[in-house]
Chains A and B, each alone.
Chain A
Amino acid sequence: MPDLLTIEQLRAGYGEAVVLSDVSLSLREGEAIALLGRNGMGKTTLINTVVGVTRYFDGKIALGGVDLTKMRPDQRAHIGVGWVPQERNIFKSLTVHENLTSVAQPGLWTPEKVYAMFPRLEERRGNMGNQLSGGEQQMLAVARALVLNPRVMLLDEPLEGLAPIIVEELLTALRRIIRDEGMSAILVEQNAKKILPVTDRAVILERGCVVHAADSAALVADSSALETHLGVTDHGPRRTRRSTQNS
């Protein structure tokens, strides 16, 4: 499969601060990558830089061979970058249906198709954005990115702060979007073990650089890499000495 999204020696950040110092990775057509790392390592900044809402310093970002670095965020969206931001950012003054129809683009994913995937949204189609639960807002954020019919979806912590039952529902939907429909995606997630089964490869960021890349299946089995880079042990996240003493 050819590379769909190519990032080479990317430097970006906010204002004068450089958060990503040298990031290179590539995403193939139909592939899903888990972007992992501890808090503050640059995962969200990388996603935001591909979307075009951070300060770009240097390097290359290309989608299907087209250079994105000089494009505005709306132009990037038009050529196929779909974004599900961490904050969800639902349009609160629009109904669920308006959230979808105001942005829908030609393609496979129509509002009706996303309603079939998220029946809860169909039930709430007349509700305003601020009349939804956290889980429904997250579903709407994913659905809104889908109806743009992007070539690549960037999902920033889509499971954060959701009830376990909603997490399972969303994971099922993500599995279908990625595995069955063949959507190329980069998923940022704190909970590596939840997201690795959905993805093909995993990339770990540390201090704005890629420090580890592996197949997702291999990383799930590699407890030492998980513990070294993410602090994840077989018994859950590793505790620091101080927190252990306190407890």
Chain B
Amino acid sequence: MTSAAANEVAAYLKRRARWSPLEIAFWVFAFATIWLFPGKYLILKDTAILALFALSLDLILGYAGIISLGQAAFFGLAGYFSGLVAKYGIINEPLLALIASGLAAAALGFVTSFLVLRGSDLTRLMVTLGVSLMLGEVANRYSNITGGADGLQGVDIQPILGRFRFDLYGHNGYVYCLIVLFICFVLARRVVYSPFGLSLRAVKGNPLRAAAIGIPVKWRLVAVYTFSAGLAGLAGALLTQTTAFCSLDVFSLDRSADLLLVLIIGGTGYLYGGLIGAVIYKLLQDWIANLTPQYWQFWIGLVLVVIVLAGRERMQGWIAAARGALEDATARVAARPAKFASDRQ
């Protein structure tokens, strides 16, 4: 691109990537929950992990159009990886272990990405599910290492940075998960607002056409799938580190299916869908499980049916309208002191 055009594109992308007041408010509230809900750290921590996990799926589903039932493969691999390195004292620092686990999951994502490049949505669903099931069986087979059906016992997680021990109430665990979620979100946001992110949306829209205008479709999909696997791995490692335990359940189909439910609730292709969906899903699960512990899944199912029948797009329209009104009001409030000052002059 000529430098003028390149500057113009860069300026445009920068404008698009600006944080809106609503986004800032979202994250201020998210961090405020550390002080607002002191008795709810465990569910908040689970929500943050689920949100990160859902964010990983939103990147490939919402931006690249890759549907997957196998995110649990990366979640589980990194979960066991972080548990094993802690158990055997290979990496004692949780932060380093977390990064190493994410990289291990990303490596698996890179290797398996070539399987999802071919075929339709159904093929991708089956292939990703198959990889996850195979890994689950491998973990079961090598029970001498993974603990098999009993899970990985005796994991001792050291304090974060040698200072912050994972406490019984889950305070440090939640803060840790929230910070990791925020950093990963910023990274994902940076990716989707870059030219790379635009090209992913083009690939999602029409892969053949995207290739014909010079986008290397295959490598873009490999890159985003690998990145997404890394994020899913970080979520899995966070779960193991904050619970000091890992079981075969991390590879289960339920875990991957839950992610799809979260994204159905929250919506795809705008990053916050996974976060909002995770909050609603966890709150619903907690609330309904308190009301009817045995049949909570019935009510979750009913909510999903209502969402699909009512049309999420319609609901998003209402949310967009509310957001527009809120931003207008914010702009008016922000403009008022300036007007007041000019009136005084």
How many interface residues does chain B have, given as a range?
20 to 34
With contact pairs A73-B211, A74-B211 given, residues A89 and B206 touching in the complex (Cβ less than 8 Å): yes
Complex alpha-carbon distance, A93 and B210, angstroms = 13
Residues 123-149 of B at the A interface (beta carbon under 8 Å): none
Complex alpha-carbon distance, A104 and B7, angstroms = 12
Closest partner residue, chain A, to B12 (CB atom): A101
With contact pairs A94-B198, A104-B1 given, residues A72 and B205 touching in the complex (Cβ less than 8 Å): no
Q: Is A83 an interface residue (CB 8 A)?
A: yes
Residues 188-239 of B at the A interface (beta carbon under 8 Å): 195, 198-199, 201-202, 204-206, 208-217
B208 contacts which chain A residues (CB < 8 A)?
53, 73, 89
A83 adjacent to B206 (CB under 8 Å): no
Q: How far is the CB of B84 from chain A (nearest CB, A)?
A: 40
B209 adjacent to A72 (CB under 8 Å): no
Q: Which residue from B204, B205, B214 sits with its C-beta under 8 Å from A103?
A: B214
Residues 100-125 of A at the B interface (beta carbon under 8 Å): 101-107, 110-112
Q: How far is the CB of A141 from chain B (nearest CB, A)?
A: 9
Q: Which residue from A76, A78, A105 sits with its C-beta under 8 Å from B1?
A: A105
Q: How far is the CB of A73 from chain B (nearest CB, A)?
A: 4
Write out, one digit per residue, whether chain B residues 175-186 have a CB within 8 A of any chain A CB (1) or not (0): 000000000000
Complex alpha-carbon distance, A72 and B208, angstroms = 11
Complex alpha-carbon distance, A106 and B216, angstroms = 17
Q: How far is the CB of B302 from chain A (nearest CB, A)?
A: 31
How many interface residues does chain A have, given as a range?
35 or more
Closest partner residue, chain B, to A102 (CB atom): B198
B9 adjacent to A104 (CB under 8 Å): yes
Write out, one digit per residue, whether chain A residues 83-96 have a CB within 8 A of any chain B CB (1) or not (0): 10100011111100
Complex alpha-carbon distance, A92 and B5, angstroms = 23
Q: How far is the CB of B267 from chain A (nearest CB, A)?
A: 13
Complex alpha-carbon distance, A81 and B209, angstroms = 13
B214 adjacent to A98 (CB under 8 Å): no
B215 adjacent to A74 (CB under 8 Å): yes
B12 adjacent to A97 (CB under 8 Å): yes
Q: Is B269 an interface residue (CB 8 A)?
A: yes
Q: Is A51 an interface residue (CB 8 A)?
A: yes
Closest partner residue, chain B, to A80 (CB atom): B214
Complex alpha-carbon distance, A76 and B217, angstroms = 13
Q: How far is the CB of A122 from chain B (nearest CB, A)?
A: 13
Closest partner residue, chain A, to B215 (CB atom): A74
Residues 65-83 of A at the B interface (beta carbon under 8 Å): 72-74, 76-78, 81, 83
A-binding residues in B (CB < 8 A): 1-2, 4-5, 8-9, 12-13, 195, 198-199, 201-202, 204-206, 208-217, 269
> Could you show 29 A-B contacts with beta carbons less than 8 Å apart?
A72-B211, A73-B211, A74-B212, A74-B213, A74-B217, A83-B212, A85-B212, A89-B206, A89-B208, A89-B209, A91-B201, A91-B202, A91-B205, A91-B206, A94-B201, A94-B202, A98-B201, A101-B9, A101-B195, A102-B199, A102-B202, A103-B213, A103-B214, A105-B1, A106-B5, A111-B9, A129-B205, A145-B213, A148-B214
